[in-house]
């Protein structure tokens, strides 16, 4: 393997511009990246020539390194600034994502529930319409011209009157604010009915649900009462069958409205538990059969019930990474046969490698807590992130930054906690991250660090987030290093972002 120490005496700083390097596992290639985020994969011989400053001009290697700003003689400051700004411009825009927890009540019982859901009789955990209005008044003060209001729970369909009121109120108020406004809802679908669906379709609400894989796994992890019970809702289908029924129905409705069926689909999320790991193929097949175009392989987080059920749902991250590789390898096989399905982590990281930062809040530096997103709890308390809100429900209010009734917008985003989180999640101040080859593409989460290590900084080398992020990027660069044209073409397609303009609310000036 290439060892910089043996090359150190020969390093010619008049030749190389700033770079970080990493040997990519299972390959003979060395990855180099620079501060602004360009990368190059070099063979051992190429890397030695680069490191010893012996690259001849007018060679393909010289041209490749020059084009990516790795050589001092041809370093293009403007290109570096443009690339850096494409990663940092989101910092100048303010919070885009605003999560409204309209209730903690939920009729499903999930083994890994991160949200600390409440039982159906806990009506005291419903958001009042007045609280929703005050939250929306704050949201519309964000300087970001593009705002997304995400309805969460609990199960937001439980408090559907609040959702309806919030949408109507936000649209009314937005006549003056003039934002590009979108609504999304994260729902288990089980309380969907014709009337609610009609309202959601008419109001262009984007819908997202959870699918944990094949029916037996999903229903094992997400319990939905079948007989009429405390919630007064009886049904013959379990959680999976119910969600599938409505996914198909909603996709059909969007198609009837003339929307492109390859673009407008119900999004589904997977929470990866230990029981999911051996079922990688069945999980992909389930998503493909449902017509889903994307699968997000989120590892389980240490929030809510997942902490209590850790011994049942958790796993070593090496096992997760093997699962991840199995899934993405299989997806690549399917794509080569014409089936369009992608993995979200891969799409996010690949977009960053290729210079098109999608501004995913948990994979950016600094992270999006408080400056990219805010979470509004049912009782009006405001948090810098949804994870911070989850911690509050577990008894730790470290990330509470105000209240919709008493705080101004600027007091929220300028709160000392937000400032601390911005500083702590800047990878240029983090041990390990500061020298990591993946620094330009990666991110950390302050609430996760606080939960696991007792400090918003965390300790990167011991962090499960770091091992997941590094492992996924190692795998993706391993696939890129193989230079298989089919895989490169598939990866390019995965990073193509087609905007879904239907979900933008119509703007009518006041």
Compute the least distance from the CB of residue 17 to another protein, in Å.
17
Q: Nearest CA to 97 among 67, 142, 50, 63? A: 142
Which CB sits closer to another protein, 180 or 203? 180
Which CB sits closer to another protein, 135 or 418? 418
**Site stretch for another protein (CB under 8 A), options 42-50, 282-290, 385-393, 407-415:** 407-415
Token reading at 288: 């493909």
Compute the least distance from the CB of residue 71 to another protein, in Å.
23
> How many residues are given for the chain?
510
Which CB sits closer to another protein, 126 or 314? 314
Instruction: Find the angle CA(337)-CA(263)-CA(326) to the nearest 5 degrees.
Output: 40
**Site stretch for another protein (CB under 8 A), options 48-56, 160-168, 184-192, 413-421:** 413-421
Site string for another protein, 344-383 (x = CB under 8 A): ----------------------x---xx------------
Residues linked to residue 504 through DSSP beta bridges, in sequence order? 182
Cα(73)–Cα(75) distance, rounded to whole angstroms? 6
Helix (H) or strand (E) holding 31: strand 30-33
Among 123, 423, 482, 488, binds another protein (CB under 8 A): 423
**Site stretch for another protein (CB under 8 A), options 63-71, 87-95, 337-345, 436-444:** 87-95
Strands (E), 50-196: 97-101, 109-110, 146-152, 180-186
Cα(264)–Cα(405) distance, rounded to whole angstroms? 37
Return the biggest CA–CA distance within the chain.
Answer: 77
**Site stretch for another protein (CB under 8 A), options 293-301, 320-328, 422-430, 472-480:** 422-430
Residues 195-224 contacting another protein, CB under 8 A: none
Work out whether 92 is an interface residue with another protein (CB under 8 A): yes
Q: Could you tell me what percentage of the chain is helix, strand and coil, using 3-state DSSP and rounding each to the nearest 5?
A: 45, 15, 40
> How many Å separate Cα 436 from the centre of its chain?
21
Compute the least distance from the CB of residue 427 to another protein, in Å.
10
Q: Is-contact 105 162, C-beta < 8 A? A: no
Site string for another protein, 303-342 (x = CB under 8 A): ----------------------------------------
Which CB sits closer to another protein, 375 or 422? 422
How would you class 301 by CB atoms within 10 Å of its CB: exposed for 0-12, middle for 13-18, buried for 19 or more?
Answer: buried
Among 24, 41, 68, 95, binds another protein (CB under 8 A): 95
**Site stretch for another protein (CB under 8 A), options 268-276, 335-343, 419-427, 438-446:** 419-427
How would you class 502 by CB atoms within 10 Å of its CB: exposed for 0-12, middle for 13-18, buried for 19 or more?
Answer: middle
**Site stretch for another protein (CB under 8 A), options 139-147, 189-197, 252-260, 354-362:** 139-147
Among 161, 333, 428, 489, binds another protein (CB under 8 A): 428
Residues linked to residue 373 through DSSP beta bridges, in sequence order? 97, 369
In the DSSP assignment, the letter for residue 107 is S
Which CB sits closer to another protein, 296 or 441? 441
Compute the least distance from the CB of residue 144 to another protein, in Å.
9
Count, in order, helices (H) and strands (E) of the chain.
20, 16
Task: Give contact residues for another protein (rule: CB under 8 A).
Answer: 88, 91-95, 141-143, 366, 370-371, 410, 413-414, 418-419, 422-423, 426, 428-431, 434, 453-455, 457, 459, 462
């Amino acid at each position: 393997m290439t060892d910089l120490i043996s090359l150190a005496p020969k390093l010619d700083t008049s030749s190389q511009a700033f770079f970080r390097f990493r040997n990519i596992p299972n390959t003979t290639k060395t990855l180099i990246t620079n501060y602004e985020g360009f990368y190059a994969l070099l063979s051992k011989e190429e890397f030695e020539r680069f490191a010893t400053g012996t690259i001849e001009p007018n060679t393909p290697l010289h041209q490749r390194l020059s084009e990516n700003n790795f050589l001092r003689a041809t370093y293009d400051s403007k290109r570096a600034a443009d690339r850096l700004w494409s990663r940092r411009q989101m910092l100048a825009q303010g919070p885009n994502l605003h999560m409204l927890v309209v209730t903690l009540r939920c009729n499903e019982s999930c083994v890994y529930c991160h949200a600390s859901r409440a039982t159906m009789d806990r009506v005291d955990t419903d958001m009042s319409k007045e609280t929703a209005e005050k939250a929306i008044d704050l949201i519309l003060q964000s300087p970001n011209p593009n705002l997304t209001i995400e309805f969460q729970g609990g199960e937001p369909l439980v408090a559907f009157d609040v959702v309806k009121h919030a949408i109507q109120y936000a649209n009314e108020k937005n006549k003056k604010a003039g934002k590009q406004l979108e609504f999304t809802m994260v729902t288990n679908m089980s309380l969907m009915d014709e009337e609610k669906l009609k309202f959601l379709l008419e109001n262009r609400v984007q819908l997202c649900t959870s699918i944990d894989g094949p029916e037996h796994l999903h229903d094992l992890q997400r319990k939905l009462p079948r007989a009429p019970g405390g919630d007064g809702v009886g049904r013959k289908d379990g959680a999976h069958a119910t969600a599938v029924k409505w996914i198909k129905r909603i996709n059909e409705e969007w198609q009837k409205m003339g929307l492109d069926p390859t673009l407008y689909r119900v999004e589904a999320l997977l929470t990866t538990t230990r029981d999911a790991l051996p079922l990688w193929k069945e999980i992909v097949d389930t998503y493909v059969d449902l017509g889903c175009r994307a699968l997000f392989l989120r590892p389980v987080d240490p929030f809510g019930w997942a902490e209590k059920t850790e011994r049942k749902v958790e796993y070593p991250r090496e096992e997760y990474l093997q699962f991840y590789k199995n899934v993405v390898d299989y997806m690549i096989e399917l794509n080569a046969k014409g089936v369009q399905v992608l993995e979200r982590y891969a799409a996010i990281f690949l977009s960053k490698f290729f210079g098109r930062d999608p501004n995913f809040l948990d994979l950016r530096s600094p992270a999006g807590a408080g400056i990219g997103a805010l979470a509004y709890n049912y009782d009006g308390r405001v948090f810098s992130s949804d994870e911070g809100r989850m911690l509050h429900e577990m008894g730790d209010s470290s990330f509470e930054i105000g209240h919709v009734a008493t705080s101004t917008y600027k007091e929220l985003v300028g709160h000392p906690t937000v400032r601390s989180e911005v500083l702590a999640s800047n990878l240029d101040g983090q041990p390990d991250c500061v020298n990591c080859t993946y620094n330009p593409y990666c991110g950390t989460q302050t609430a996760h660090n606080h939960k696991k290590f007792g400090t918003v900084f965390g300790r990167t080398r011991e962090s499960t987030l770091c091992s997941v992020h590094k492992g996924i990027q190692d795998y993706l660069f391993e696939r890129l290093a193989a230079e298989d044209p089919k895989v490169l073409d598939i990866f390019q397609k995965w990073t193509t972002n087609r905007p879904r303009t239907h979900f933008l609310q119509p703007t009518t000036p006041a």
